[in-house]
Each structure stands twice: as C-alpha cells, then as structure tokens.
Amino acid sequence: MKRAAIIIFAALFAFVLIVAMLELSALPSPKVNLPAAVAANMAASGVEHPVTAVLLNFRGYDTLLEIAVLLLVLLVVLAVSPREGKAPAASHEPVLQVLARVAVPVMLLAAVYLLWAGAHRPGGAFQAGAVLGAAAVLLHLAGLLPGWNAPRLFMRAGLAGGFLVFLVVASALLANGALLHFPPEFAGALILLIEAGLTVSLGLILAGLFLFLA
C-alpha cells in the first residue's frame, strides 16, 4: 500500500508539473532585461558570482524546491526498490582500488574548492555535491564501499540536513518581510551556510540513488 501510494503521489505530482508548464508556456514573454537586473543588484546579493547570486538569493525559491524534488526522488527509489536480492559483484581489481584510493582524496579536495569558489566564480553546492556523490560511487565500484541499506538516523539527517538548513534559514528571514529576503550584511555568510549543508546532502542523495540500489 505504501509503495502504491507513493507511485500515485509521484504521478499526480508529475501531472501538476506538466499542467503548470503548459500554462506557463502560454503566457507572454516578460520584457525584462535579466542580465542587467542581476548586475544592478549584485552588491546586495552577498556573493560575487551572478550564477550563485541567482540560485541562492534572487530565485532561492526555485533552488529550495529543487532540493525537495531530489529528496522526493530518493524516497520514491527507496519505496519501490526491492529490499532483498543478490547484490551485483563489485570489482576487486587491485589497480582499480589503488586508483580509487588516490582519486577520492583529490575529489574531496575538489568538492571543498568548488563549494568555496562558488561565491566568486563557477562552482557551488550542486557541483561540489556531484563530486562527492561520484567519489562514493567510485569507492563502491572499486569494492571499497559496500552498498547502502535502508537509511538509519544519521544517514537520514545527512540526506535531509541541507534542505532543513535551507528551510530554517528561509523561515528565520520572515522577520524581514519575505521568506528568502537576505539582509545584505549577512547574505554572504547565510548563503555559505546553506551551500555547506546542501553540499553534504546532495552528495549523499546522488550517491544514494546508486548505492541504495546496490
């Protein structure tokens, strides 16, 4: 019953998205010069890179919902995936394991750099989280990390932590009159806090889409 309910909910959610997209496509194109509008408000964004400013400040609602969608996808995967079965054999090639042991620390450093660099150049939580997820998958394929069972308390906290941090910060900003209205003097620190939480959660979610099925 739980699996059927989640499948029905996912189908209804997809239907609502399709209807919304069709309605939006029928609307006239707004006559707004978006690059100029972003450039004019960069000083209040708290960051120096326009992509990060747009994703975490100017259209933070979209990013918050994107994280919610990724969590929903993982919940659907956990609901419909079999709980028992023979796991595929992992590679135990010594050369692959040595390469994985060398590559994964470099990938972790790259993820930290991408998180830090997102404030002033291309990078950020999504890119850093993707690198973390790829590192976990590489360890599994090399036979150094087993597949994941149903998530326990700490894993659940890690999976949902980034979304919860984002939601708590957004709710705390209601005192400013809007859900995601960052005060300019604190915008940079709040965005870094949100991105740090999202990096961990996105890495676990993306890795989990592979390792929970493994």
Share of the chain above pLDDT 70, in %: 93
Name the region of 123 (left: φ>0; alpha: ψ -120 to 50; beta: rest). left
Degrees (nearest 5) of the Cα angle 187, 191, 193? Answer: 120
Q: Is the pLDDT of residue 164 over 60?
A: yes
Residues 6+ positions from 109 with CB-CB distance below 8 Å: none
Q: Where are the domains of the chain?
A: 2-211
Say yes or no to pLDDT of 187 above 90.
no
Rounded Cα–Cα distance for residues 102 and 105 (Å): 6
pLDDT attached to residue 138: 93
Contact 136, 145 (CB under 8 A): yes
Alpha-carbon gap, residue 133 to 211, rounded angstroms: 10
End-to-end CA distance of the chain: 24
If one compares 92 and 170, the residue with the highest pLDDT of the two is 170
Mean pLDDT of all residues belonging to the chain: 85
Count other C-beta atoms under 10 Å from residue 151's C-beta: 17
Residue with tokens 């709980």, as numbered in its chain = 83
Asked if residues 169 and 195 have their Cβ atoms less than 8 Å apart, the reply is no
Count of residues for the chain? 214
Residue 84 has pLDDT above 70, yes or no: no
Type of residue numbered 1 = M
The rounded distance, in Å, linking the Cα atoms of 58 and 148 is 37
Q: Among residues 140, 130, 135, 58, which one has the least CA distance to residue 103? A: 135
pLDDT tens digits, 23-70: 877 777 767 777 788 888 888 777 877 888 888 778 888 888 889 999
What pLDDT was estimated at residue 5?
Answer: 86
- Reported confidence tier of residue 112, pLDDT bands at 50, 70, 90: very high
Structure confidence at residue 30 (pLDDT): 67
